[in-house]
């Protein structure tokens, strides 16, 4: 049996912040501003976590890690993703593949994509070829194009784990 999931998340740049690293896929990447968030703001891992939760019918990231809880203030989203993936494996599934699209006018991500891919694979303890990271701008259109924030879509396919 296979299951499909989709996740989408947006975080806004803090226009008051000076140039700063942002966390994307567990990797620190230089950007014109920090991203506003309750956690570390890793918008890529949030979208991927939502895709995995969606695939097992387990709601969304905010239900599991509320942004009203001090427990998750400044949280490392790799740890949130680890907990989400534990739910996936506990439900008897493992990742087939995940395909992730980062929608960002800035920063340029091409040189960081291989590092993001291996960072995500390491968190999930899967082969790197199960993960694909893409980036696109919006040709300067909309909130992404105005460099107000970054959006991410993630889709994943889960497969029933072989019986132990």
Ligand X SMILES: C[C@@]1(CO)OP(=O)(O)OP(=O)(O)OC[C@H]1O
Ligand Y SMILES: Nc1ccn([C@@H]2O[C@H](COP(=O)(O)O)[C@@H](O)[C@H]2O)c(=O)n1
How far apart are alpha carbons 43 and 22 in whole angstroms? 10
How far apart are alpha carbons 148 and 1 in whole angstroms? 40
Instruction: Please state the closest distance from residue 104 (CB atom) to ligand Y, in A.
Output: 4
Q: Name the helix (H) or strand (E) containing 144.
A: helix 142-145
Is the CB of 16 or the CB of 110 nearer to ligand Y? Answer: 110
Considering only 110, 162, 163, 164, the residue that binds ligand Y (CB under 6 A) is: 110
Is 137 known as a binding-site position?
A: yes
Task: Residue 7: name its binding partner from ligand X, ligand Y, none (Cβ under 5 to 8 Å by kind).
Answer: none
How far apart are alpha carbons 53 and 110 in whole angstroms? 28
Asked if 67 is part of the footprint of ligand X (rule: CB under 6 A), the reply reads yes
Strand partners, 35: 13
Q: How many CB atoms lie within 10 A of CB 58?
A: 17
Candidate segments 4-12, 51-59, 106-114, 117-125, binder of ligand Y by CB under 6 A: 106-114
Task: Residue 110: name its binding partner from ligand X, ligand Y, none (Cβ under 5 to 8 Å by kind).
Answer: ligand Y
**How many residues sit close enough to ligand Y to count as binding (CB under 6 A)?**
7
Burial of 102 (0-12, 13-18, 19+ CB in 10 A): buried
Asked if 123 is part of the footprint of ligand Y (rule: CB under 6 A), the reply reads no
Look at the block and give the residue holding tokens 């993630």. 154
Candidate segments 26-34, 37-45, 85-93, 147-155, binder of ligand X by CB under 6 A: 37-45
Residues that bind ligand Y (CB under 6 A): 104, 108-110, 135-137
């Amino acid at each position: 049996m296979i299951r499909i999931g989709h996740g989408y998340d947006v975080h806004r740049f803090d226009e008051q912040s000076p140039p700063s690293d942002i966390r994307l896929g567990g990797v620190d990447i230089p950007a014109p501003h920090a991203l506003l968030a309750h956690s570390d703001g890793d918008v890529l891992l949030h979208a991927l976590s939502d895709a995995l939760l969606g695939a097992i019918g387990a709601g969304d990231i905010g239900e599991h890690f509320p942004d009203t809880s001090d427990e998750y203030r400044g949280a490392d989203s790799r740890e949130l993703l680890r907990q989400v993936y534990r739910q996936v494996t506990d439900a008897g599934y493992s990742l087939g593949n995940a395909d992730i699209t980062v929608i960002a006018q800035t920063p340029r991500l091409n040189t960081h994509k291989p590092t993001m891919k291996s960072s995500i694979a390491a968190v999930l303890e899967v082969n790197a070829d199960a993960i694909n990271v893409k980036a696109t701008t919006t040709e300067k259109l909309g909130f992404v194009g105005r460099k107000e924030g970054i959006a991410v879509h993630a889709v994943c396919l889960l497969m029933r784990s072989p019986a132990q």
